[in-house]
Structure 1
Amino acid sequence: MTFMDRIMGFFGVGGEEAYEEAEVGTEHAAAATMKGRGNVVSLHTQKSVKMVLCEPKSYEDCPEIADHLKSHRPVVVNLHLVRRELGVRIIDFLSGTVYALGGSMQQVGKNAFICTPANVDIQGTITSDTFQEERT
Structure 2
Amino acid sequence: MSFLSKGIRWLKSQMDDPVEEESYEEPEREEGEDVPGPGAVPARTIRPLEVDIIVPGSYGDARHAVDALERGMTVMVVLNDNVDDEVASRFVDFMSGAVYMAHGDVMLLNDDVLICVPSTVDIHEDRLAFVSGIPTWKGP
**TM-score greater than 0.5 by the shorter chain:** yes
What RMSD in Å do the two structures reach over aligned CA positions? 2.6
Q: What is the correspondence of 1:12-51 to structure 2 with a 5 Å cutoff?
A: 46-49=45-48, 50-51=50-51
CA–CA separation in structure 1 for the residues paired with 2:59 and 2:40: 43
Q: What is the correspondence of 1:25-104 to structure 2 with a 5 Å cutoff?
A: 46-49=45-48, 50-80=50-80, 81-104=82-105
Report % sequence identity. 28
**Which sections of structure 2, spanning at least 5 residues, go unmatched?**
1-36, 129-137
Structure 1 residues 41 and 73 mapped into 2: Cα distance closer, same or farther (>3 Å)?
same
User: Based on CA coordinates, which of the two structures has the bigger radius of gyration?
Assistant: 1
**Which sections of structure 1, spanning at least 5 residues, go unmatched?**
1-38, 128-133
More helix by share: 1
- Following TM superposition, the consecutive aligned residue runs of length 4 or more in structure 1 with deviations greater than 2 angstroms are 39-43
Structure 1 residues 59 and 116 mapped into 2: Cα distance closer, same or farther (>3 Å)?
same
**Displacement of 1:41:** 5.7
**Displacement of 1:126:** 6.8
Q: Identify the residue that residue 118 of structure 2 maps to in structure 1.
A: 117
CA–CA separation in structure 1 for the residues paired with 2:84 and 2:63: 19
**Displacement of 1:125:** 5.4
**Displacement of 1:110:** 2.4
CA–CA separation in structure 1 for the residues paired with 2:73 and 2:120: 9
**Preserved contact between residue 108 and residue 126 of structure 1 (Cα < 8 Å):** no
CA–CA separation in structure 1 for the residues paired with 2:98 and 2:60: 15
